[in-house]
């Protein structure tokens, strides 16, 4: 199809998708309060808000299952309109559905982390098999004289790299969590960044891949925003692992199908940093409690850092104790700043020209 | 690929698949007793065995989630070996995963039946979109003079027919249930029949489709057999809607990807009959209690029919009251007889020659 035709096609598709996503947003706004009651009474899925000891009633947990289900309905419905790249599209749906199921099982059963890592790896397999993009690694210009070639064919190692990205993203939202609005806030911001990136790149040489990525991320942006509405400080609902795993995998899949995993990692900088400083505790080199959260102080109502190695505590350690809502808002701002940095790195011609030739710039 | 090559390829594939399925069987045998405890204590998923009032301890519910998860692991792992027909393969995985999720959500939340029917229809959409088989209906010979043509192009109506088949199969196992071993018994027998049918047809002109169908059904046969081991009378575990929906969709998908929906319906004869006589109650023309089960008589320990219109009660009405285990065994025999009838109809040359020309015989 010609570029002009492709643009017209994209425009009509995006209008339908936008309408479906808007409907999905309102569906979530309507269903979350209903399912909230079901979670409390029938499903017995609820938790104590440990940063609000004065609040006695339990908070319904696992509302991610609502946005995940509505999201799946939208992408499945839209597929019957678009009928594009079915192999990758269906692989994406199955990976996302698999992680939503795993997250929900985790909410109900409390699954061991080894099993969860294993399952999140398995969920990526259909997408790795269906992946038909380049498997070459473009050598940055300053390194070409050393390596002796301009590109390096990675083959199966490239699939390994993609699997790592997806497993990392899927699990990274889950470990950067624990205060009201944090899980949904970061998800909505990363989704927004991915969305903007796709819209910019729709004109580029990989427009069709960015279109698929956009199809996967726009309904996610809409449904997560609805959940954020209820999950923001002070939270009416908790999102559950059903949301964190679903969210991580959806964003990962959007990056991989859009062929921009490196740019995606720029959007995931806070999560990457949190993951790296969490490693000593995750691997048990330092004792690791079940929740690695800041502590609520009854006297001033602020959160204080604990000796757990993660971004939440580190931020409080350097910036001083804070009210929970303000902490979530500032971490959201930090996330936005990282996205802006990501865009700056990605679209700065000076920087990219230094590392890559022009014809490689658009390769992710 | 040539026929000979195709056969060699099939043989090597089936050996790998068989090994994986055997491993899956033993994995289920090992995991079910572990997850059973988790269901009881952490997940609070359990029920009372109403046909054993003397048994006081609750029976863990929803063990279908174990076989469903193990099944998905196998089909996803095998996909990275086989890499065949990715569009339909991935659509099948996502449909099955979607229904497993829905079934599990139903076990936890008790979802209304309208929503479940809607979701089971949506789950079929990826497969309808990915379907690349014939959409012609072959007119039976005696009707050709009346219709005036040999085939009828159904187009979008054929997709509607397939959607109906899949929604019917998915829900039909769930409504033919309620005594120990019935859900798993019927599933294993239908899966076995589908398996045999695929093995016979592997040599036929649609061998590749039968191969895909076989890939989907063999691990299901293995994992369901493991569940039946624990679910047979007297049941250690209940299977939950997570199993009935997962089972129905897997069998439906095996029939549709193998392009033999008519033969599949022959294997589903008891379910079809049960569905038809259940209609007055399902549509509320006759009052419908939550469970439409036979009644346990404390004096003789037998099940007696109630005034509910389904196969269980009808069978007891005509054959007299029975012990629960014997009833399940006899219904399994009935299911086997229907499969044999199905094979007889399908492979009887006299019958098929009467209705169809030879070159159409293998069309499902």
Q: Between chains, do A129 and B65 touch, taking CB under 8 Å as contact?
A: no
pLDDT at B1: 63
Q: Hey, of A86, A104, A219, which one would you mutate to test binding to chain B, going by the most B CBs within 10 A of its CB?
A: A86
Q: What is the DSSP string of A110-177?
A: ---HHHHHHHHHHHHHHHHHH--S--EEEPPGGGHHHHSSSEEE-THHHHHHHHHHHHHHHHHHHHS-
pLDDT at A290: 77
Chain B, window 96-135: residues with a beta carbon less than 8 angstroms from a chain A beta carbon: 97-98, 100-101, 104-105, 108-110, 119, 122-123, 125-126, 128-130
Give the closest-approach CA distance of A346 to chain B in angstroms. Answer: 33
Q: Indicate if the pLDDT at residue B222 is higher than 60.
A: yes
Structure ipTM: 0.92
Give residue for tokens 């499969």: B339
Closest among A232, A241, A244, A240 to A324, alpha carbons compared: A232
CA B327 to chain centre: 20
pLDDT digits (tens, 9 = 90+) for B45-57: 999 998 998 888 9
Q: Indicate if the pLDDT at residue B82 is higher than 90.
A: no
Q: Decide: A77 and B122 in contact? Cβ < 8 Å.
A: yes
pLDDT confidence band for B357 (50 / 70 / 90): low
* CA A161 – CA A252 distance, rounded (Å): 12
**Nearest beta carbon to residue A100 from set B42, B101, B130:** B101
Q: What is the DSSP string of A179-241?
A: STTHHHHHHHHHHHHHHHHHHHHTTSTTHHHHHHHHHHHHHHHHHHHHHHHHHSSSPSS--HH
Give the closest-approach CA distance of B280 to chain A in angstroms. Answer: 29
* CA B162 – CA B253 distance, rounded (Å): 10
Sign of CA dihedral A95, A97, A103, A108: negative
Domain boundaries, chain B: 3-259
pLDDT digits (tens, 9 = 90+) for B263-273: 999 999 999 99
Q: What is the DSSP string of B234-249?
A: SPSS--HHHHHHHHHH
Q: Between chains, do B79 and A122 touch, taking CB under 8 Å as contact?
A: no
Give the closest-approach CA distance of A100 to chain B in angstroms. Answer: 8
- Rounded-to-10 torsion of CA A76, A82, A86, A88: -80
pLDDT at B8: 86
In chain B, residues with a C-beta closer than 8 Å to the C-beta of A65 are 105
pLDDT at A357: 62
Residue A355: helix, strand or coil by DSSP? helix
Q: Between chains, do A130 and B90 touch, taking CB under 8 Å as contact?
A: yes
In chain B, residues with a C-beta closer than 8 Å to the C-beta of A119 are 69, 73
Mean pLDDT of B256-262: 91
Q: Does A76 touch chain B (CB under 8 A)?
A: yes
Q: Between chains, do B130 and A86 touch, taking CB under 8 Å as contact?
A: yes
Give the closest-approach CA distance of B71 to chain A in angstroms. Answer: 12
Give the closest-approach CA distance of A91 to chain B in angstroms. Answer: 5
pLDDT at B359: 47
Q: Between chains, do A91 and B91 touch, taking CB under 8 Å as contact?
A: no
Distances (CA, A) of A294 to A56, A228, A275, B280: 20, 21, 17, 59
In chain A, residues with a C-beta closer than 8 Å to the C-beta of B86 are 87, 90-91, 129-130
pLDDT at A192: 98
Give Dmax over CA atoms of chain B in angstroms.
66
- Per-residue pLDDT 10s for chain A (364 aa) are 677 888 888 888 999 999 999 999 999 999 999 999 999 988 889 999 989 988 889 999 999 999 999 999 999 999 988 777 888 999 999 999 999 999 999 999 999 988 999 999 999 999 998 887 777 777 777 888 888 888 888 878 888 999 999 999 999 999 999 999 999 999 999 999 999 999 999 988 888 899 999 999 999 999 999 999 999 999 999 999 999 999 999 999 999 999 999 899 999 999 999 999 999 988 888 888 877 899 999 999 999 999 889 999 999 999 999 999 999 999 999 999 999 999 998 888 777 777 766 544 444 4
Q: Decide: A292 and A310 in contact? Cβ < 8 Å.
A: yes
pLDDT at B268: 97
Give the closest-approach CA distance of A99 to chain B in angstroms. Answer: 10
**Nearest beta carbon to residue B86 from set A76, A83, A130:** A130
pLDDT digits (tens, 9 = 90+) for B18-34: 999 999 999 999 999 99
In chain A, residues with a C-beta closer than 8 Å to the C-beta of B83 are 129
Confidence (pTM): 0.93
* CA A172 – CA B246 distance, rounded (Å): 30
* CA B201 – CA B195 distance, rounded (Å): 10
* CA A155 – CA A4 distance, rounded (Å): 34
């Amino acid at each position: 199809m010609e570029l002009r035709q492709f643009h017209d096609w994209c425009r009509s598709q995006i209008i339908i998708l936008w309408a479906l996503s808007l409907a999905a947003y309102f569906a979530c706004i309507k269903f979350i309060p209903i399912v909230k009651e079901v979670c409390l009474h029938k499903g017995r899925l609820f938790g104590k808000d440990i940063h609000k000891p004065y609040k006695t009633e339990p908070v319904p947990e696992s509302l991610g299952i609502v946005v995940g289900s509505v999201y799946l309905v939208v992408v499945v419905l839209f597929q019957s309109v678009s009928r594009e790249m079915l192999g990758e599209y269906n692989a994406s749906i199955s990976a996302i559905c698999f992680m939503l199921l795993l997250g929900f099982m985790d909410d109900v059963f409390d699954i061991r982390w080894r099993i969860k890592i294993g399952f999140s790896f398995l969920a990526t397999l259909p997408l790795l098999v269906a992946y038909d993009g380049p498997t070459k690694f473009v050598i940055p210009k300053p390194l070409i004289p050393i390596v002796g070639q301009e590109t390096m064919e990675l083959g199966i190692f490239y699939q390994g790299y993609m699997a790592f990205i997806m497993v990392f993203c899927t699990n990274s939202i889950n470990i950067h969590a624990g205060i009201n609005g944090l899980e949904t806030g970061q998800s909505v911001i990363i989704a927004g960044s991915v969305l903007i990136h796709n819209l910019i790149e729709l004109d580029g040489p990989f427009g069709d891949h960015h279109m698929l990525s956009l199809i996967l991320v726009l309904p996610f942006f809409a449904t997560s925003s609805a959940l954020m509405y209820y999950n923001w400080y002070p939270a009416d609902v908790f999102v559950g692992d059903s949301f964190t795993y679903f969210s991580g995998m959806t964003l990962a899949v959007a990056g991989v199908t859009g062929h921009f995993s490196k740019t995606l990692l720029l959007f995931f900088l806070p999560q990457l940093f949190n993951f790296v400083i969490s490693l000593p505790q995750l691997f048990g080199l330092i004792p690791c409690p079940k929740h690695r959260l800041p502590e609520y102080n009854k006297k001033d109502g602020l959160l204080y850092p604990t000796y757990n190695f993660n971004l939440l505590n580190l931020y409080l350690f350097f910036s001083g104790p804070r009210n929970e809502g303000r902490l979530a808002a500032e971490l959201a701002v930090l996330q936005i700043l990282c996205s802006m940095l990501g865009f700056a790195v990605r679209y700065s011609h000076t920087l990219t020209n230094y590392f890559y030739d022009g014809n490689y710039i658009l390769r992710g």
